[in-house]
Structure 1
């Protein structure tokens, strides 16, 4: 049943935030597992929210001054809240609690390092604005400004702490990759790709691999694997199963679960066997946690199919690395009780819950794979979430990620035109300012540095390499194969990641 908690979310004028913001509010446990959102907006703007988890965190999208629209968390200094503590008439002040959350996070990340003026300035601003708000000096505005600076300070200190760790222990073995889907011979695309990456994702979608029943087409895959081998790049096969309607041929939709699971077993065996010793990393199962479930399998069938794919990979190539790959790692869709094709189950399964169940059932896989298309979250929330995925005790690959590079060549990357219940709609937001190539590069540098400082993360794969991309304007190259700014940022950054600082020197023109 849970308990009813009253929450206020106030804007810069001290009134209630807009209804579309209030409707985003949800609770989770301390491991980011969401409650199903059951809320009512009262006439005074207070949100009455049913909370099941105890202790719990709160999450809501907020328009932060000088930052953007982003999910913000409140977690009571890492301890969470007891629902009983907000019973009766007491009202939970979301913005104030979030300010204290991020100030606490900043203090933790600052331990043992000397903060930069950027980080210290944001931290001091957060405390001063918060103090002014308590003194009723333009209280609504100062509280939101305090929250904005607190988030920026905590992010900066998270990044600076990672820099210290990375300097002490570089990651020359880290796999840096991207998908190779648009490779077309020796051109600028190929030159830029091999200068940047040592890891490439090869497409094995069913509509390409098995366009007709009873026939497997390996020609394109052979071409890409040959090119990777010739250039010393490690290949990864993606995916051996993916239940998205756009990645499966029409003939598969006439089949039963029993027929499709038999097809999966046979295809995985033949595919992995064909490339044994050549492709050593496989996304054995892609997005099995209800999100992409075009065949309307039950949750039990999705788990059973995952077991079939992972076991068959192991049988076909015992030395291969087997990955279960998930999307939407914060699982906000669970709170909204919907998936890619609309509401289907009483309670959708989150990626976190799926991994726990897979491990409990003894499914044989090697790596936790996480997709991280801009999660509309700050780096501190991402860092905390990575702690959850690390707790499963397996290596972690960031298998797909991307953030927008802003408008490009007459196009507008407009969040208002995106379905709010789509994968991109759930994950779009602002980060520090409007998206452009500079901001995109900053995000990449911060995230790659934070991820590389974590020993459990073994691979980082961007998605895509060339326009048009899955996330609009996210690729490294425009369609004419001219690079975006982040190409140069990552090319410089990879030397720091590998501990080769001598390659970061500046040389003049010849």
Structure 2
């Protein structure tokens, strides 16, 4: 069976990882260095802000970013020297109905050459995303993965919306159908990954997969429901500056609520972190103390917290990021 990991799919369904084979390092174009023009609009139909557009980058067909070439960027338009080989395009953009996502366009895995420009990137993103999602779903179906009819219907709608975008010259209407097609193919891609994983990957007993549980209880019941559906492991915050803003005044209650909820739902908690010399890990009054005193305070902190949660939290990250990078070592102890 063909193995495709999630990163490959998420990038590949943008159009260039899955199924792309190149025998040489690059496919060289027989041309001088021409200028190319790329046009982009935001989710509201306005020309994309030049600062956001300037984050656009080119890649070769092996997913390797290409060093930035000479370019000029204005609202909604980017003019650049063309790479001297077939290439793909990537840009983080907001898709109304899905969210902010880095999209990829590669001319249906063929790559772009200067002859393909000027290029409406909104349309190119919609074409490449749908092509790669369709290819991946088709491949997985041949391998025995069963998809619901609702997924097939969304693919059909994505194709129909894309055709409407292609067949209109009115830019606002074209952008509307591009966005609609993208929404469908993006969500199909997410759903397809999940379905394929559930059918291929056998659940392993006692395998822990988790996330931070910082949103409880402010984010409400929907957050709790989704967390319980997805995870059996949860990170509880013990960032010193917020857990104990003044020495001796610990906020036990907030974490107690989290731990109690997790225990009720058979989710294993982990404390994080007890020692971290990042800004959020250092109460203001600790900063001015000498090393020997801080060392003793930290030892007391570790012992007190671990004893308090004995039998409730069996996992702790005692020290987080013990290295010399300034932002993680503001006290200079590493």
**TM superposition score normalised by structure 1:** 0.39
Which runs of 5 or more structure 2 residues have no equivalent in the other structure? 1-33
Q: Matches of residues 225-240 of structure 1 in structure 2 within 5 Å?
A: 233-239=267-273, 240=275
| Residues 142-191 of structure 1 deviation map (CA, whole Å, 9 limit, x = unaligned) | 454144224413422441342243144236544456637978xxxx9xx9
**Structure 1 partner of 2:46:** 18
The answer to whether residue 103 in structure 2 is matched with residue 73 in structure 1 is: yes
Q: Does 1:107 align with 2:134?
A: yes
Contact 2:40–2:47 under 8 Å retained in 1: no
Distance change (3 Å), C-alpha of 1:156 and 1:79: closer
- Equivalent residue for 1:206, pick from 228, 236, 240: 240
Are 1:11 and 1:144, in contact at CA under 8 Å, matched by a contact in 2?
no
Q: CA deviation at 1:94?
A: 0.8
Mapped pair 1:301 → 2:326: yes
Distance in 2 between residues matched to 1:42 and 1:194, nearest whole Å? 42
Contact preservation (8 Å) 2:39, 2:119: yes
Which string of whole-angstrom CA distances, capped at 9 and with x for unpartnered residues, describes residues 182-230 of structure 1?
A: 78xxxx9xx99998875443331212555456x6959669967985897
2: CA distance, partners of 1:219 / 1:11: 45
Structure 1 residues 49, 269: closer, same or farther in 2, change over 3 A? farther
Q: Structure 1 residues 163 and 308 mapped into 2: Cα distance closer, same or farther (>3 Å)?
A: farther
Q: Alignment partner for residue 127 of structure 1, among 159, 166, 173?
A: 159
Counterpart check, 1:27 vs 2:61:
no
Preserved CA contact (<8 Å) 1:129 1:143: no
Query: How has the CA–CA distance of structure 1 residues 21 and 250 changed in structure 2, closer, same or farther, with 3 Å as cutoff?
Result: same
Are 1:76 and 1:101, in contact at CA under 8 Å, matched by a contact in 2?
Answer: yes
| 8 Å Cα contact 2:82-2:114 kept in structure 1 | no
User: Distance between the aligned counterparts of 1:226 and 1:119, measured in 2?
Assistant: 38
Unaligned runs of 5+ in 1: 289-296, 310-510
Counterpart residue number, 1:388: none
Please give the alpha-carbon distance, in whole angstroms, between the structure 1 residues aligned to 2:165 and 2:263: 62
Correspondence for 1:163 = 195
Aligned ranges for residues 429-440 of structure 1 at < 5 Å?
none
2:184 counterpart of 1:152: yes
Q: CA–CA distance in 1 between the matches of 2:232 and 2:301?
A: 26
Distance of 1:7 and 1:21 partners within structure 2: 13
Displacement of 1:97 after TM fit?
1.7
Who is 1:118 aligned against?
150
C-alpha distance in 2, partners of 1:4/1:248? 52
Task: Give CA-to-partner distance per residue, 1:348-402, whole Å, 9 cap, x none.
Answer: xxxxxxxxxxxxxxxxxxxxxxxxxxxxxxxxxxxxxxxxxxxxxxxxxxxxxxx
- CA deviation after TM superposition for structure 1 residue 58, in Å: 2.1
In the other structure, the counterpart of 1:6 is 37
**What's 2:317 paired with?**
282
TM-score by length of 2: 0.55
Moved more, 145-154 or 265-274: 265-274
